[in-house]
Structure 1
Amino acid sequence: MSVCATCYEPTIRDYDSHNCPGIGEITITRKRGHGLIVLEAPRRARIAVGLLADAKWGATMAGKDLINIAEQVLYQITGYDPDHAALVVQLVEDWRQPGILTFDHRLTDAEVEEIKVRWQERYGNPGACNHEPLTEEAPGA
């Protein structure tokens, strides 16, 4: 069993038919009211060393060999590309996965009500606590 050295796709039987995406580019945008948004986070990418020093870009070191980008993706440094003067990184975690409640438009009243109904079905009344009531003891007991 062969593995591509660029994209790490396993079980490559024929290198001529392998459509390797290559080393991709991390695409980020800035949106007013939302801050930095990672649009694309390929499995392998290059990051220029100078970008780590630029606070506006949103990359911070999260360990000796980990780079956190805009609190949305985590990459591990796997090498250095001298031709491009860049670090070669591999995606470790992507926190942009579906399931997080985000909206690109203002919710309608019907959508808000639907979310409230689902919440109440799952968790009960949002104003009530779901724990055992506390019993008061006499002072000094």
Structure 2
Amino acid sequence: MHQSRLSNIVIDCQLEDLAPAIEFWSRALGKPVADADEDGDGKYAKLQTAADEPVILLQKVDHPNRVHLDIETDDIDAEVQRLEALGAHRIEFVHGRWWVMQAPSGHRFCVVQRPEGRAIQPHANRWD
């Protein structure tokens, strides 16, 4: 048995400077900026959300602008296999930490490991 849930909404921005996108999305969504440079490399920013809401991230990317979802799980291999059985396929394993996948509809999404020590609840699905 493993668990998974929608954890992140990621706004992919093909920009040199992420700051204008951070300001726009913060104001548009009414979410203060929690961290304008989450990883210290200028590629990720995080908006403030409640504990039971998905995290909203902005990500500087090289591909065209889009929004993608992250599915958080306590067992990446089991979750990837479950999603493949539903018709998704693997695209790339990134930094040895998460899978970029593609749904049968053509949409890209990621399967990410739940951070150590953090409960996956609320809103987790249990899969046998």
TM-score by length of 1: 0.28
Question: Which structure has the larger Rg over C-alpha atoms?
Answer: 1
Higher relative contact order (CA 8 A, sep 6+): 2
